[in-house]
Amino acid sequence: MAEATGLRNLQVVDDWAADVEVFRGVPWGKAMMWIFLLSDTFIFTCFLTAYMTVRMTTSEPWPNPSEVFALEAFGVPVPLLLIAIMTFILITSSGTMAMAVNMGYRRRRGPAALLMVITALLGASFVGMQAFEWTKLIMDEGVRPWGNPMGAPQFGSTFFMITGFHGLHVSAGVVYLAVVAWRVWRGRYEKQGYDIVEITGLYWHFVDLVWVFIFAFFYLW
């Protein structure tokens, strides 16, 4: 036996060096979902970096998102009202998703499927509000990908690109959740176990995670 000293004591070194599967005890579907999410992280960060670059280099004033995305409530303009509601909806859906994962592993497939459906409905309402936001921006504010009345034309191109790609992820997630919820409800995973709910959850939490960065960098900055 080799002496168990130094680096050999580290579990991580052992895992990577053992010439067997690296992610021990991790279902392959979960490892693959994580790797997919890692690649998605690169895509979204490239978009956000592009946004940072055009915002830092434009010689025209950047439209104030606090005013552009203000909504009137009870006769007073409230900054970012819709965006705040959308943020809270997405966080709530992340919470119901976490509950669904928990219920899945307890083998209570009824509640698990129900919580996934609630998550999907919250996600669908998020996409609906985004459609409303886009419509207002295009019809009322005159924002186009190539220009807008408020200032730097890059505002429109980066906004539609980033929120559009995120909205696409939410929409795909709603379909994904609906399909898995249906299969959970039907009892398809009774034999193989409920890792699938956790894997679906990883994707959904990632969508929420991306929104955290978009909220901070695009709407609040």
Binding site for other proteins (CB under 8 A): 10-12, 15-16, 22-27, 31, 34-35, 37-38, 41-42, 45-46, 49, 52-53, 56-59, 66, 79-80, 84, 87-88, 91-92, 94-95, 97-99, 101-102, 104-106, 190-195, 198, 201-202, 205-206, 208-209, 212-213, 215-217, 219-221
Q: Which is nearer to other proteins, 14 or 179 (CB)?
A: 14
A 10 A CB-CB count for 163 gives 18
Nearest alpha carbon to residue 163 among 34, 37, 51: 51
> Token pair for residue 37?
């999410």
A 10 A CB-CB count for 178 gives 17
Instruction: Tell me the torsion sign for CA atoms 132, 134, 66, 89.
Output: positive
Q: Which is nearer to other proteins, 25 or 139 (CB)?
A: 25
Shortest gap between Cβ of 142 and other proteins (angstroms)? 23
3-state secondary structure of 28: helix
Q: What are φ and ψ of residue 50, in 5° steps?
A: -60, -40
Q: Which is nearer to other proteins, 126 or 194 (CB)?
A: 194
The one-letter code for the residue type at 59 is S
Shortest gap between Cβ of 57 and other proteins (angstroms)? 4
Shortest gap between Cβ of 37 and other proteins (angstroms)? 8
